[in-house]
Chains A and B, each alone.
Chain A
Amino acid sequence: MPAQDPSQSSPVPAGAAAGLPPVAPRTLKDRVLGVTRRLGLTGRGGVILGPYAWLVLFFFIPFLIVLKISVAEPAVGIPPFTKLVEWVDGGLDLHIRFSGFQALFDDDLYLLAYLNSLKIAFVSTLCCLVIGYPMAYAIATAPEKRRGPLLMLIILPFWTSFLIRVYAWMSILKDEGLLNNLLMGLGLIHEPLKILYSDLAVYIGITYSYLPFMILPLYATLEKMDHTLLEAAADLGARPWKSFLTITLPLSLPGIVAGSLLVFIPAVGEFVIPSLLGGSDTLMIGRELWNLFFNSRDWPSASAVAIALLAFLVGPIMIFQHFQGRDQDKGAA
């Protein structure tokens, strides 16, 4: 809604013409409100201002800082990069270098790391979907009073630190770990499986850690689905699996998209899981980023990697937004 000029809606001329007593002079409060309104600061605007301020302060400004660093050159010192703007001989000197971005193309390590990250994120997302969908479906179709406790079980792992849970997986997957001891104890295998420090461990770690982010949005869409639609489908001759494919699955698409992106986007940039569970050859962009920042101290290149990663992920994020918007439109109709 556009800000309204209070003078437009004021009935002063009409009242004066009708010979009514003059309207009382505007109070200070009215004047302040008038000014804020003219600036577009209505109550509604104020409410939106909060999130905007948050985004500007903690997303946009940091992004500009990273962008600035990415076009600087590495230097020895603190901070370890050159200044963007410098006073030199009474004139402004602008240093913009693309050496950081250049490195991305010179060394195919980065391209491989990006592609491998996308692959690992994609496969993990698929695993989350395959495991998470039946779980979400089971919770959504459980008797109403059982749903709360079941959801609680999904959220329960968050009560333990993420890092500790990843460490727990290390002790499960290692050569003399829980899993190998169990399998060997049962006589199923005779030599320990080499799972820890491999891509498989990374898949397990990411799938485990991000599963709740898949289940929760899926549950939300499945739970609000109208059960009579399935009855209608059955009534029209659809067998249960056909009803699932033609009714449940398409209608839960917004949940599938939301859940997949909530897993996929952070999984691409994941750093802790590949570092702890992955092998030395598990190439992931989050890890390379960390190496560049803290091992090579090449902040401009690291920033360039971060910006390229963001560019990679803008696409999926926009798909996510699109589906969210569509879902909300439908809800309003």
Chain B
Amino acid sequence: MKFEPWHDPAAKPYVQIEKVTKRFGDFTAVDNVSLSIYRGEFFSLLGGSGSGKTTLLRMLAGFEQPTEGRIFIDGVDMAGIPPYDRPVNMMFQSYALFPHMTVENNVAFGLRQDGVPKDEIRTRVAEMLELVKLTPFAKRKPHQLSGGQRQRVALARSLVKKPKLLLLDEPLGALDKRLREQTQFELVNIQEKLGVTFVVVTHDQEEAMTMSSRIAVMDHGHIAQVGTPTEIYEYPNSRFTAEFIGSVNVFEGNIVESEPDHSLIRSAEAGCDLYVTHAAHLAAGSHCWVAIRPEKVSITKERPADADTGRNVTRGVVREIAYLGDISIYQIDLPSGKRVRATAPNVTRRTELPITWDDEVWLCWRPFAGVVLTD
């Protein structure tokens, strides 16, 4: 079953951010952002440092107040509601574990604030520690734990109050690569098991792609694009998103034909015409860019059959090869001086690559591969 409440006009967003702006003095950290996040989503705010993603998260938690605009959580306007009265919990980037309390007491802290009976606190804390596999470490202090264990304590502490909305600030940022990959899946499992809405801040596009139901790409306080991981990857709406997520080849050119079912772009940089099977909504002659992902570029030594058309096929010289085992990344210089990136899976098993440095190769791609971008 597909989980796509954002396509359902009847669905009510759980978190509604309306034209929110946050300024610190002269600096605008978040600039007129509107977002709707639905119940049960794993929503990522993705951006570089200074993109405003953490400020947006802190406004949801109540640590910062919007300069303009409003935030609704479950239909309630959050203006003036302090963090301790919000139905929201947060997992901090630094984890912010209380150093003078045991793991157990750290997790129990939130329940104690609500005056939950002692027996219930005990069982709920035990359940939570079980969930994050920390039961044997209940009596330890945070400084006696490894980074991964601390991360799980922070997660348990923020989940124990069963919040409807959990905010996570770079939840995997402090873990090493292997642990991060493993924890990504654990996090998604926990999120699905408990049915909590997650809003995650991350700068790691791979992390956002793996875990999220939807991603909001942020740049300089603006939202550049909101969409599912595939939408963001396959249909970026700007050069910024295209280049921020994964790697991409961007060719500059001018529209020659602009029809409802296809567009043709002449690009001196690419050394050929680019035929794209979607409408560019641009007048002939306008300036634009075409983005093509490296894995959609085929690289061959033989001249392709349709080379005579002069569309979506060009030639170049291999300058760099990165052999990654499963795939190889080729950097090809075109006569225009443009460097193109192409990846190819290493399907056959051999120690000598079929294509090597300084080989003259043909590059071609299918008509659906390109995306026309206007900025």
Residues of chain A whose beta carbon lies under 8 Å from any beta carbon of chain B: 226, 228-229, 231-239, 242, 246-247, 250-251, 330, 333
Contact = CB atoms under 8 A, between A and B. Distances in A.
A236 B100 contact: no
A229 B61 contact: no
Contacts of B98: 229, 232-233, 247
Contacts of A232: 90, 92, 96-98, 157
A242 B109 CA distance: 11
Nearest to B154: A232
A235 B61 contact: yes
Given A226-B96, A228-B96, A235-B84, A333 B143 contact: yes
Contact of B83 (A229, A234, A247, A250): A234
Contact of B113 (A226, A228, A229, A238): A238
A228 B83 contact: no
Contacts of B90: 231-232, 235
Contacts, number: 62
A242 B84 CA distance: 11
Contacts of B62: 234-235
Scoring B90, B96, B97, B114 by chain A CB atoms within 10 A of each residue's CB, the highest score goes to B96
Interface of B: 61-63, 82-84, 88-90, 92, 94, 96-100, 109-110, 113-114, 143, 157-158, 161
A237 B94 contact: no
Nearest to A239: B84
Contacts of A250: 100
Contacts of B89: 235-236
B84 A234 contact: yes
Contacts of B82: 234
Scoring A231, A232, A233, A239 by chain B CB atoms within 10 A of each residue's CB, the highest score goes to A232
B341 to A, nearest CB: 40
B61 A330 contact: no
A246 B61 CA distance: 21
A232 B96 CA distance: 6
A237 B113 contact: yes
Nearest to A329: B143
Scoring B89, B98, B143 by chain A CB atoms within 10 A of each residue's CB, the highest score goes to B98
Given A226-B94, A242-B113, A235 B143 contact: no
Contacts of B110: 236-237
Contact of B99 (A233, A236, A330): A330
Contacts of B92: 228, 231-232
Given A235-B90, A237-B110, A229 B96 contact: yes
Nearest to B115: A237
A214 B353 CA distance: 73
B63 A236 contact: no
B143 A237 contact: no
B374 to A, nearest CB: 41
Given A231-B63, A235-B158, A251-B99, 5 more contacts: A231-B92, A234-B62, A236-B157, A238-B113, A246-B109
